[in-house]
Every structure is written in C-alpha cells, then in structure tokens.
Amino acid sequence: MDFNTSKPEPYIASIMTAVSVFLLLGLIYFIIVCEIYTREKELSLKTIFTPFSSLLILMITCQTGVYACEIFAFSEKAYRWTREYAELFAVQTWFIVLQEASYLFYSYLRAAPLFEDVFPRIAPALALGMKLMPILFVCQGVIGVARVVFFDDPEPFEIIAQCDQFIPVLIAVCMLTFDITSLVTFTTFLKRTSVAEKMEDKQFLIISHHGIAAVVVCFLIIVCYAITALFGSADALLLGFLFSTIMYLLLFRMKAQERIRSLNGSTAHRTSASV
C-alpha cells in the first residue's frame, strides 16, 4: 500500500483507526471490570455480550473497519474505481450497514420506554419501523457486493449504481426521522418532568441528556457525509469520522454514567439499611 505523502488523509484515517481500537479496548475493559467483576458476576459470553454491550461493541468494531478501509481508499493505488476498489467498497459497505443498524437498534432500545411514555401513539409505528429497517440495511449491503459481481458488465452495473444512490438516501431519511423523533421525545421528557421526578428517574435523565447530544452529533455526521457524497470532499469525510468517534464516546459515557448511578444507588441502599 503506497500512501500519497503529500496528503494527510491516509495518516488521519490511521490515527482515527487507532483511536477507535483503543475505544473498543476501553469498552471491553469497562464491561469486564466494572460491570462483571465489581458486581461479582460470572465471567462468560452471556455476561459480556449483553444486548446493549453487544450493539455498542459492534458499532465501534464496524467503525474501526470503516476507518481501516479508508486507509486503503486514500492510498495512491486504491483511490481509483478498479475491481480492487470495488471489493474494498463492498467490505466497507457491510461495515457501514452493521454500524448504522447497531446504532439504530441501540438507540431504540435505550429510548423505547421514553417513546412509550411520551408518545404512546407513535410507539407501535416506531417498533414496526425497527422490524422493517433490516430490509433496507441488507439491500444496501447486497448492492455493495453486486458492484463487484457485475463490475465488468456495464448494463447491470449502471442499474446497481443508481440503486446505490437511492438506498443510502432512503436509509438516511429513515434514520433522520428517528433522530428527530428521539430529539423531540427527550426534550419533551425533560421539560415535563419535575425536579422530584428527575431525582427518581435518574436513568431516564441520563438517557435523555446523552440522547440529545448523540442526536445532534448524528445530524452533523449526516451533513458531513452528504457533503462528501455531493462534492467528494475528503475533509468532510474525515470530519464525519471525527463526529462518529465523538458519538460513540457519548454512548460509552452514557453507559458509564448509568453504571455509576447504579453503584451510588446500591451504596445508598446499604447505608440506609445499616442505619
């Protein structure tokens, strides 16, 4: 792999990959030490890969894969539409698909109780949407593979290229709709919740605050990727990578804050019991 040494993009992508790997290792350490050993649970795949932990691990792993693919994409040899690049694109597409899906389902599972509480009428529609979204994600991944299969066949390749422009836009619209719904739900919950209720519902408070921040960052990511798609801006793409890392840090922080809240609650309970 030959880097174009006059451009910083390959090196920035390499740094982002390293940061993502450290974030992944930090998450695994947190799960094993803070969520298993401190609770005196048995160390097993079941206790490590809980639904929330599994989705968060998958998100960061796939983001690492996306960054790694960009290292090759920014290299001087691969940055042309060749079969090699098409294969790289197919691999990266599946990383993106799994990343988007895990983010969506993670966010939904975290916010589902708030959806039912704040907007009970639309909660069933959101649940139905979560069941249908995998169809779009699979279509996006299949299109990436089809680009490789029909690389030397111009007619189907053109059709696939058009689908490749439509499906990601449709997914982006769906995710944007979900993010807007989440943002409205979180802000509504915070506005209508009294101080006393907030003291009792600290978990929902943590989810709401971090959820609002994550949604805002997600908007910025979509803007960056849209600029990249329209103008081919490498700077916008790298900025989108940075915002993605920030979003995962927010989700990681939310998980840590929930754990701290749980520990504080347990400590307070033991103290009151001893008194």
Residue 143 inside a domain? The answer is yes
Residue 112 inside a domain? The answer is yes
**SS3 sequence of 257-268:** HHHHHHHHHHHH
Total domain count, the chain: 1
Question: What percent of the chain shows pLDDT beyond 70?
Answer: 87
Residue 29 inside a domain? The answer is yes
Nearest-angstrom CA–CA distance, 220 and 119: 26
Nearest-angstrom CA–CA distance, 56 and 53: 5
Burial 237-253 (b: 16+ CB within 10 A, else e): bbbbbbbbbebbbbbbe
Of 20-24, 34-38, 186-190, 200-204, the poorest mean pLDDT is in: 200-204
Nearest in space to 214 (alpha carbons), one of 53, 115, 39, 222: 222
Mean pLDDT for 31-44 is: 84
Amino acid making up residue 73: A
Is 134 a residue whose pLDDT tops 90? yes
Nearest-angstrom CA–CA distance, 228 and 241: 12
Residue 57 inside a domain? The answer is yes
Mean pLDDT for 159-183 is: 86
Containing H/E element for 275? Answer: none
Residue 215 inside a domain? The answer is yes
Residue 220 inside a domain? The answer is yes
Is 268 a residue whose pLDDT tops 60? no
Residue 245's contacts (CB-CB under 8 Å, 6 or more residues apart) are 16, 19, 20, 23, 63
Nearest in space to 91 (alpha carbons), one of 12, 40, 147, 170: 147
Q: What is the pLDDT of residue 240?
A: 87
Take residue 12 and report the two structure tokens written for it: 């920035």
Q: Burial, 12: exposed, middle or buried (Cβ in 10 Å; 0-12, 13-18, 19+)?
A: buried
Nearest-angstrom CA–CA distance, 223 and 226: 5
Q: Can you give the residue range of the structural domain that contains 118?
A: 9-259
Residue 272 inside a domain? The answer is no
Burial 127-141 (b: 16+ CB within 10 A, else e): eebbeebeebbebbb
Coil, strand or helix: which one is 80? coil
Take residue 271 and report the two structure tokens written for it: 């103290």
Q: What is the pLDDT of residue 127?
A: 93
Mean pLDDT for 158-173 is: 83
Residue 239 inside a domain? The answer is yes
Is 267 a residue whose pLDDT tops 50? no
CATH code for the domain of 90: 1.20.1070
List helix spans (H) across 79-118: 83-118
Is 79 a residue whose pLDDT tops 80? no
Of 65-69, 103-107, 252-256, 263-267, the poorest mean pLDDT is in: 263-267
What's the first-to-final CA gap in the chain, in angstroms? 66
Take residue 244 and report the two structure tokens written for it: 């993605």
| DSSP designation for 31 | I
